[in-house]
């Protein structure tokens, strides 16, 4: 029983990370049809800069972590918005080329990060409490899992509120469904593209800082690893669906944890099998719009 609880909550924590990456990917894809390979780099640069600033202000404390998070969110949002504005926008509606540019950006930036911060992981200091465990139903749960879950829930709530309550949110939801019809109502949908990139980048930025808490290190490849799982999550959840991304994040991460524990470390493979199964039964994903 305690093992199951541990696996569940750890899975939820990992799922939280996946969601922070996948939410942006899914929204960006849903609205603009852009597959953003640079999303992992948004995460990595935010993790590095968040860590650099946070440790200078106050290393290994809550205050330092909060600073890291704020810096990470800001960096993620700014870098993402700039990417959209400077690179993606020039290739308006040419989805393949847009994806290619993000591929180039991801290759170049990962190499750059390696050049600046080296190829080895850099271990980070965390607030005392996050390194401890809490006992729930007999299971000793690492405390950082709770932080991750809480942050992901807040982000999910925040994005949902934004989508439901603001005019831009309305435009984005409509655009995910039928972008052409939005422009045919006299709305310049491109303005919301930058916004969606910024939101996705901010979530990924927070994800970067939290990933460094979860793994205990920052590295140039932090984003690349998470990105692949986030891709899988987005496809399983249904491209363009935020709720789908949330549900699939949790399903994938929990499945992965259980398979790693009970099936001899085969979590990654089981996830791919799950992806194949979803595609066979429901090609548009759990909650995706009809392709």
Partner 1 sequence: MSEPASEPILVVDALSGRIAGQQVIEDIAFEVPATGVTALLGRNGVGKTSTIKSILGLIERTGDVRLAGERIDALPTHRIVQRGVGYVPEDREVFGQLTVAENLRLAERDAAPRRELVERLFPDLVARRAQRAGTLSGGQQQMVSLARALVNENRLLLVDEPTKGLAPRIVDEVAVALAEAAQTVPILLVEQNLRVVRRLAERVVVLSGGRVVFTGTAVEFLDDEELIHRHLGVHDASEAA
Partner 2 sequence: MTRNKTLWLAVGGVLLVVLLAVLPLLAIEIPGVLPGPTYTPGTLQLIAYAMLIAALALSYRMMFGLAGLLSFGHALFFAAGAYGLGMTLDAFGPAEWPSELIFLGSIVVTLAAGFVLAATVGALALRVTGISFAMVTLAFAQAGSVLIRRNPGGATGGDEGLALDIEHVPGALVGVLNTRNLYWVALGVLVFVYLVVLWVEQSRAGHVAAATRENELRVRVLGLRPYNVKLLIFIVASVLAAVAGMGYLLLQSGAAPRVATADFTLTLLVIVVLGGVGYRWGAIVGGIVYTLLDQRLTALAGSEFIAGLPAVLRVPLSEPLFILGTLFILVVLFLPGGIAGIPQRIRSGRASHPAESEEVADA
Spatial CB neighbours of 229, under 8 Å, sequence gap ≥ 6? 18, 21, 252, 271
Q: Which residue lies nearer to partner 2 by CB, 146 or 193?
A: 193
How many residues bind partner 1 (CB under 8 A)? The answer is 16
185 lines the binding site for partner 2 (CB under 8 A):
no
Q: Which residue lies nearer to partner 2 by CB, 35 or 211?
A: 35
- Nearest alpha carbon to residue 127 among 144, 141, 145: 144
137 lines the binding site for partner 2 (CB under 8 A):
no
Q: Which residue lies nearer to partner 2 by CB, 107 or 150?
A: 107
Q: Which residue lies nearer to partner 1 by CB, 84 or 144?
A: 84
Q: Identify whether the C-beta of residue 223 lies closer than 8 Å to the C-beta of residue 43.
A: yes
Say how many residues make up the chain: 291
Report the partner that residue 59 touches, choosing among partner 1, partner 2, none (CB closer than 5 to 8 A by kind): none
Q: For partner 1, which stretch binds (CB under 8 A), given 13-21, 123-131, 165-173, 209-217?
A: 165-173
Report the partner that residue 33 touches, choosing among partner 1, partner 2, none (CB closer than 5 to 8 A by kind): partner 2
Spatial CB neighbours of 72, under 8 Å, sequence gap ≥ 6? 46, 47, 49, 50, 205, 206, 208, 209
Compute the Cα dihedral for 143, 144, 147, 148 and give only its sign.
Answer: negative
Q: Which residue lies nearer to partner 1 by CB, 58 or 243?
A: 243
Q: Which residue lies nearer to partner 2 by CB, 76 or 288?
A: 288
Q: How near is the Cβ of 119 to partner 2 at its closest, in Å?
A: 11
94 lines the binding site for partner 2 (CB under 8 A):
yes
Q: Identify whether the C-beta of residue 291 lies closer than 8 Å to the C-beta of residue 235.
A: no
4 lines the binding site for partner 2 (CB under 8 A):
no
226 lines the binding site for partner 2 (CB under 8 A):
no
Spatial CB neighbours of 264, under 8 Å, sequence gap ≥ 6? none
Kindly provide the b/e burial profile for residues 201-225, where b requires at least 16 CB atoms within 10 angstroms of the residue's own CB.
bbbbbbbbbbbbbbbebbbbebbbe
Q: How near is the Cβ of 246 to partner 1 at its closest, in Å?
A: 16
Interface positions with partner 1 (CB under 8 A): 170-171, 173-174, 177-178, 180-189
């Amino acid at each position: 029983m305690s093992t199951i609880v541990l696996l569940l909550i750890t899975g939820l924590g990992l799922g939280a990370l996946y969601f922070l990456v996948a939410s942006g990917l899914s929204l960006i894809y849903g609205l603009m049809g852009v597959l953003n390979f640079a999303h992992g780099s948004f995460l990595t640069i935010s993790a590095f800069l968040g860590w650099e600033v946070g440790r200078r202000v106050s290393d290994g404390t809550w205050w330092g972590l909060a600073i890291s998070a704020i810096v990470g969110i800001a960096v993620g949002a700014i870098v993402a918005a700039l990417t959209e504005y400077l690179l993606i926008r020039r290739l308006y509606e040419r989805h393949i080329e847009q994806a290619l540019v993000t591929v180039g950006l991801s290759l170049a930036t990962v190499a750059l990060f390696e050049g600046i911060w080296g190829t080895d992981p850099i271990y980070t200091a965390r607030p005392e409490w996050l390194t401890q465990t809490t006992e729930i139903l007999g299971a000793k749960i690492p405390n950082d899992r709770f932080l991750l879950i809480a942050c992901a829930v807040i982000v999910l709530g925040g994005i949902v509120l934004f989508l439901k309550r603001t005019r831009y949110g309305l435009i984005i939801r409509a655009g995910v469904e039928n972008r052409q019809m939005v422009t045919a109502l006299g709305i310049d949908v491109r303005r919301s593209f930058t916004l969606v990139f910024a939101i996705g980048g901010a979530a990924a930025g927070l994800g970067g800082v939290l990933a460094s808490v979860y793994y205990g290190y920052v590295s140039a490849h932090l984003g690349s690893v998470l990105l692949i799982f986030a891709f899988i999550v987005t496809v399983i959840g249904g491209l363009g669906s935020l709720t789908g991304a949330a549900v699939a994040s949790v399903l994938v991460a929990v499945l992965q944890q259980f398979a790693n524990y009970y099936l001899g470390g085969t979590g990654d493979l089981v996830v791919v099998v799950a992806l194949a199964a979803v595609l066979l039964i429901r090609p548009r994903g759990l909650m995706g719009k009809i392709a």
